[in-house]
């Protein structure tokens, strides 16, 4: 018999993301936090508040995650979507 315990207060984060030496600590933490979000919408300000990053840091961190293959940013009709890869 296999026993499974659901821990909704925990989040699975890819080890590859956490151990990637090409990513800054801010990018690793941001990537890990993005895994905690449910599908749906957040405003840009809500996202900045949750990430606890100054607004000027968000774009460089997202560029770092995108450039290293962890995040895809999609734009449709002026709305942006974040798609985690990994």
pLDDT single digits (tens) 27-58: 999 999 888 877 666 777 787 788 888 878 88
Does residue 51 form part of some domain? yes
Backbone angles phi and psi of 7, in degrees to 5:
-120, 80
Does residue 6 form part of some domain? no
Residue 50's CATH number: 1.10.10
Does residue 68 form part of some domain? yes
Which residues span the domain enclosing 41? 15-84
pTM of the predicted model as reported, rounded to 2 decimal places? 0.78
d(CA 18, CA 34): 13
Does residue 2 form part of some domain? no
Strand segments (E) across 1-85: 71-76, 79-84
Number of domains observed in the structure of the chain: 1
Does residue 5 form part of some domain? no
Q: What is the mean pLDDT of the chain?
A: 83
């Amino acid at each position: 018999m296999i026993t499974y315990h659901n821990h909704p207060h925990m989040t699975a984060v890819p080890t590859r993301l956490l151990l990637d030496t090409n990513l800054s600590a801010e990018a690793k933490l941001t990537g890990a936090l993005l895994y905690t979000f449910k599908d749906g919408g957040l405003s840009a300000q809500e996202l900045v508040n949750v990430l606890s990053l100054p607004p000027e840091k968000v774009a460089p961190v997202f560029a770092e995650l995108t450039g290293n293959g962890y995040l895809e940013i999609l734009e449709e009709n002026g709305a942006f979507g974040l798609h985690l890869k990994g």
